[in-house]
Amino acid sequence: MRETATVRVDSKALVTVRQNRYSVPVALAGLRVAAAVGARGIAISHGGEQVASHERLHGRFGTSARLDH
């Protein structure tokens, strides 16, 4: 079962989910996006379209940044 949350993209194009940060496309800075949290991954969508996916970080205060958004 996946947990979903609505989160705001910060000025550095990162969203915080469960105390970890994940990158999204820069064009989404300041907007709200949906994050679906699974056991192994995070899927982030905006307007019904997936805009980023990351392997889920375990622990706290980690950052997963991808430059290819």
How do the domains of the chain map onto residue ranges? 3-57
pLDDT of residue 2: 83
Strands (E), the chain: 3-8, 14-17, 20-23, 32-37, 41-46, 49-55, 63-64
Please, which pLDDT band fits residue 69 given cuts at 50, 70 and 90? Answer: confident
Distance, in Å, from the CA atom of 43 to the CA atom of 51, rounded to the nearest integer, reads 8
Residue 13, pLDDT score: 98
Calculate mean pLDDT across residues 12-24.
97
**pLDDT on residue 56:** 96
What is the rounded distance in angstroms from the CA atom of residue 68 to the CA atom of residue 32?
20
Average pLDDT value for residue range 20-41: 97
1 pLDDT tier (thresholds 50, 70, 90): low
